[in-house]
Amino acid sequence: MKIQRILFLLIYLFHVGAPPWGFTEQKTIVGQFSQDCILPCSFSPGHEVVIHWKRGSRTVHSYYDQDDRLRQQDPGYKTRTHLFHQDIPNGNASLKLSNLTVTDEGNYTCYVGTLESSTEVKVVLRVRVSPHYALEYQKTETGRTLTCRAFLTYPEPRVSWLRGNASIQEAHQEKSSNGVLYSLRSDQNITNTADPYYCNFYHPYKNWSAEWRMKEQQSVIEGSSTVIPCDYSNTTEGFSVVWELHRGTVVSVLAAFNGTFPSSPARACMNQSDFSLVLEHLTAQDSGEYLCNVSTPQYTKLTVTTLQVGNSNNRRAIGIVMVSMAVLLVICFAALMFRVLYKKCPRNLPESRAPTENTEESHPVFSSSSNNMEMDDLGRGDLAS
C-alpha cells in the first residue's frame, strides 16, 4: 500500500512539475454569472488515475487514490468544485464549478495521468453577466422625466440619449458597484412631448435600447367605452406587455402579458390580438396617463396616452350653451343680411310734381265741375245783390 501511494505521488509530481507528454488540447467555455458550468476534460482510460486542475499557480481541485484531495485547494474554490467520480473510469475528468463569479474568469489546466498515458487540457473560462435594463417614466408637477437603469452588469456599460434623430446630453447620472458588478442610472428631462426619446446602453456582451413616445390625448364622457392602442411590432417570442395607469405619483398595473393572459379587472382588459387596452363604463376617476410597456431582452418601448373623462352633465350643459350661441349667431347673421339687402333696394316714395316749363304762356285749366261751382257761386252773388 505504501509503495502504491508513492507511485501516485510520483505520477502527481511528474504531471505538475514536468512538461506534459501525451495529448494536449484547448477549449473556451462561457459561463453565466451565479450559475454552474462544466470545464471539460477527457482522457484515455487507464489505471491509477491522477487528476489535477489548476489555474496558474492556484490549485482548484486534486484527485488521486480514487478520492478527492483538497487540502491544498485554493480557498476561493472551497465547496464549489466537483468531479464526476462515476465517469472517471470512462475517461471523464471534467470539473463542475458552481456559483460562478466574475473573478473565476481565466485560464485553467487539467492534468490527467495514468500508468498508460498522460493528457493535458487547457480551458479558457469566460464569465458572462447577463445585464438587466429598464426604462422608467415619471410625471411630476415640475415636468416629465425618463430614467434608464442598468443593474449589476460587468463590465461597466456606456449610455447615450437621442431626441428624435438628435443626440442629447443626459440630465443626471449615478453609478454604484457591488464588488466587480456595476449599476448605472441615467436621467433625461422630456422637453417636447411631440418628439420620441431613445436611450441606448452599449455592453460587450449585449446592447440594449429603449424608446418613449407620447400619443394624442383621448377625450370621452362618463359611462362610455374606449380602446387605447399599444405600439406592438409583431414580436414573436421572449416579450412581455404591461399596462399601467399613472395618476400623479400613484401607479396602478391594469393588465399584463408574459406568455399568458391572466385575469384582468372587469372594466379593463387587454386585447389578445394587438395588446390594446379596452376600458368600459368610464368614470372621471379613470382620467390619467395610460402607459403600455413592451419589453424584450434587447429593447423596451413605452407608449403614453392621456385619457380625459368628462362629466356627462357638464357636457350636456355645455352642449345647450353652444346650441344657444349658434342660434343667436344665426339670428344676428340674418338681421345683418336683411339690413344690407334693404339698403341696396330702391324706396317706393310718391313722385313730386314739378312745374312744366313751356315756351308758351300757361293758362289754368278748370274741370267742368269746377266751372259749374263757380257759376253757382256767381248766381248766388247776383241774387244777393
pLDDT digits (tens, 9 = 90+) for 27-58: 999 999 999 999 999 999 999 999 999 999 99
| Cell matching residue 255 | 393588465
For the ranges 70-79, 171-180, 361-370, which has the lowest average pLDDT?
361-370
| pLDDT score of 322 | 72
At 190, is the pLDDT very low, low, confident or very high (cuts 50, 70, 90)?
very high
The domain boundary residue, chosen from 128, 154, 184: 128
Q: Count Cβ atoms within 10 A of the Cβ of residue 223 and give its class: 0-12 exposed, 13-18 middle, 19 or more buried.
A: exposed
Structural domain including 298 reads 215-328
How many helices and strands (H and E) does the chain possess?
3, 25
Tell me the CA end-to-end span of the chain in Å, nearest whole number.
198
Whole-number average pLDDT of the chain? 83
pLDDT band at 344 (very low <50, low <70, confident <90, very high): low
pLDDT tens column, 240-258: 999 999 998 899 999 999 8
- What local confidence, expressed as pLDDT, does residue 353 receive? 45
- Grid cell locating 169: 446630453
What's the pLDDT at 28?
Answer: 94
Residue tagged 343667436 (cell numbers)? 328
Same domain, 227 and 323: yes
> Does the residue 187 lie in any domain?
yes
- How far apart, in whole angstroms, are the C-alpha atoms of residue 126 and residue 132? 19
pLDDT at 261: 83
| Percentage of the chain modeled with pLDDT above 70 | 78
Mean pLDDT of 72-98: 96
Confirm whether 333 is domain-assigned. Answer: no
Asked if pLDDT for residue 362 goes beyond 50, the answer is: no
| Amino acid 384: pLDDT | 37
Q: Nearest-CA neighbor of 135 among 300, 291, 304?
A: 300
Q: Looking at 25-29, 192-196, 339-343, which range is the least confident one?
A: 339-343
The answer on 83 and 139 residing in a single domain is: no
Q: Is the pLDDT reported for residue 361 higher than 70?
A: no
**Both 42 and 111 in a single domain?**
yes
Residue 70 has pLDDT above 70, yes or no: yes
What CATH number is attached to the domain comprising 227?
2.60.40.10
Are residues 112 and 195 located together in one domain of the fold? no
The DSSP H or E segment spanning 255 is: strand 250-257
Please tell me whether residues 313 and 242 are part of one structural domain: yes
pLDDT for residue 60 is more than 80: yes
At 245, give phi and psi (nearest 5°). Answer: -115, 125
Domain membership flag for residue 247: yes
Predicted local confidence at residue 205, as pLDDT: 81
Q: Kindly tell me if the per-residue pLDDT of 101 is higher than 50.
A: yes
Question: What is the average pLDDT across 226-233?
Answer: 89
Together in a domain, 6 and 122: yes
Residues 194 and 260 occupy one common structural domain: no
Q: Is position 143 within any domain?
A: yes
Domain count, the chain: 3
96 forms beta bridges with 38, 82
3-state helix, strand, coil in the chain (%, to 5): 20, 40, 35
Residue scoring higher pLDDT (359 or 271): 271
Domain boundary among 280, 297, 328: 328
Can you tell me the distance from the alpha carbon of 94 to that of 86, in angstroms, rounded to the nearest whole number? Answer: 12
Q: What confidence score (pLDDT) does residue 25 get?
A: 73
Which three three-digit cell numbers place residue 279? 376600458
pLDDT given for residue 315 in this prediction: 56
> pLDDT grade, residue 262 (50/70/90)?
confident
Q: Are residues 205 and 224 located together in one domain of the fold? A: no
Q: What is the pLDDT of residue 64?
A: 95
Task: Indicate whether 124 and 10 sit together in one domain.
Answer: yes
Q: How do residues 122-170 score in pLDDT, each as one tens digit?
A: 999 999 988 899 999 999 888 999 999 999 898 889 999 999 999 999 9
Q: Are residues 225 and 262 in the same domain?
A: yes
Task: Write down the pLDDT at residue 24.
Answer: 65
Residue 333 phi, psi dihedral angles, 5° rounding: -65, -40
pLDDT band (50, 70, 90) for residue 338: confident
Instruction: Judge whether 162 and 168 are in contact, CB under 8 Å.
Output: yes
As beta bridge partners, residue 155 has none
Last residue of a domain, one of 128, 160, 182: 128
